[in-house]
Each structure stands twice: as structure tokens, then as C-alpha cells.
Amino acid sequence: MCIRDSLWGVIHNGVSVYENANKFLGHAHKKNISVFFISNAPRPETVVRKGLTNKLHLNEKYYEFIFTSGDTGAKHINELKHGESYFHVGPDKDEDLLDTINIKKNSDYEIADFILCTGLFDDHDNDLNYYRKFLEKQISKKLVCTNPDLTVHKGNIEELCAGSVAKVFEELGGKVIYYGKPHKEIYSKCFDKNEIVLYDSINDLSDKIKFYKKNYKINGKFLFKHGKKYYLPDGKLLFSSYHPSPRNVNTGVLNQEKMKNICLLYTSDAADE
């Protein structure tokens, strides 16, 4: 058995690993259950792994591999699916992803074949109007987004992600190609065994069910409920859970006990603790 799980917001908040998530991973490790993470980090797997180990102090033995939206996007870009040159929109820290991309990076966006968005520029990281003005004359190009998330909470601070820039581009009339959750490319790469799948929001559940309805014959409704369990047609087991965001915690929608229960649900000896 193996588990596919989200990373940011489920295992950690960008500042520290959640205590109960760490216990959950420890129990899975003791039971020889392989854990794989699915992340919308627009970075290579090796970089994300290093950050988990060195900054967040997550035990590397607790998981096998991290499927990242960055690696997924780079793979398709290197297959020349979008053109032979790109202009990069994103922070300097994402240069490590660009190092894995084999086509030409253009400093002039007007002559690039497409726009690659990994995030926001360091000096314009909270002003979407800047991107509206910057991109309004580029809607004839495609924008490739390697992090579909609109925002992320780093501790208690909400930050804009590449998905917010992509949304602006779509509002202007441009076409966006997304790599990462909830889009199919990252799932087709990492789903290949009987496993438990953990999802963390109503929208996330809905998007995965759409994926399954498109690829399998499914009857009946899948309704979101914290702790609800569904058996999927390819042998996977799906649990739904509220996202441990400050909003859900502060409003009482999710508390430590509910999060502990969903994390320990699948192992009887862990659930008894």
C-alpha cells in the first residue's frame, strides 16, 4: 500500500511541519507504508526535498518521492509542446527550475514563443495590477503556469502564487496551460499503484472526481465531508479533509482532534492512540 498526499498546507505551513502530520508520517513509516507527496512547488524535486530536510526538519525516511508541478511542467516544455523559447515571469529563487529546461530563455518577452510563469517578480510580489498592465499586450502568446495555486499561507502570512497571475492573463483573454494540481498531467505521472489518496478541499475533491469520471465509468455522487472515504475504480482509497488553513482553524471548521483523526484513520493501532 502507498499514500499520495499534498504537501504545503497538509504536512507543513511553509514555516514548520504540523505536529500531527509528523506523527502520521511516523506511523506510516513504522508500518512500511510508502508515502509520496504531490506538490504545486514550481521547483525541482531535489530542491523541495532539500528544503523539507534542512529548513523544516522533516525526516527523509518518512517519504519516497515528491512529484512537483515544476518538474511536470519542465518535462512538457522540454518536449517542445509550447515552443522553442520562453520569457520567465517569477522570482529569482525559481532559477533552479529554469536550469532543468533545455530550450532558450529570452530576456525580451516580445520575441519569446511563450511566457513561463512560476510566480511573481521579487519586486512586484503583491500587485496584480502590475501584471495586468504587463501582460495585456501579450495575450496572443500562451502562458504556461507551473503553480496553479492562487495563494498560499506561509505561517500566518498569505502570499500570491503563479495561479493569480495566470488568472489575470485569462481575464485579459489569454490562454493558460497549467501544470500541477488539480490538472491531469501531474496525476498521470504519479498514480500507478493501489494507494490511499488524501485531498484537502471541496474544489480539490471535485477536480479529482472530474478526472476519474473522464477516465473511468463512475456512477453515483461524491460529496465532500471531512473524513469521508471513497473507493475509486482503480483500487485507490480517497479520503476528504478540510484544509488546515488559518481560516478553517480560526473559524472552528477544523481543529487538532479532527485533523488527528483524518491523519490516523487508516491505521487501526494509530487510531487507538
Per-residue pLDDT tens digits for 108-146: 999 999 999 999 999 999 999 999 999 998 999 999 999
pLDDT tier at 10, thresholds 50, 70, 90: confident
Q: How far apart are CA 163 and CA 254, in angstroms?
A: 25
Which residues have CB under 8 Å from 269's CB, separation 6+? 27
Q: How far apart are CA 246 and CA 254, in angstroms?
A: 9
Q: Which residues of 208-221 are buried (b: 16+ CB within 10 A; e: fewer)?
A: bbebbeeeeeeeee
Q: How far apart are CA 98 and CA 104, in angstroms?
A: 10
Paired residues of 240 in beta bridges:
199
Cβ atoms of 227 and 242 within 8 Å: the answer is no
Amino acid making up residue 61: K
pTM here?
A: 0.75
Cβ atoms of 118 and 147 within 8 Å: the answer is yes
Of the listed ranges 33-47, 106-120, 226-240, the one predicted with least confidence: 226-240
Q: How far apart are CA 18 and CA 33, in angstroms?
A: 19
Q: Which of 47-56, 187-196, 220-229, 264-273 has the highest mean pLDDT?
A: 47-56
Residue with cell 525559481: 94
Q: What is the pLDDT of residue 151?
A: 92
Q: What is the pLDDT of residue 55?
A: 94
Q: What is the pLDDT of residue 263?
A: 62
Rg (the chain; Cα; Å): 19
Residue with cell 496525476: 187
pLDDT tier at 189, thresholds 50, 70, 90: low
**pLDDT per residue as tens digits for the range 149-172:** 999 888 888 999 999 999 999 999
DSSP state of 270: H
Q: How far apart are CA 195 and CA 4, in angstroms?
A: 7
Q: What is the pLDDT of residue 265?
A: 60
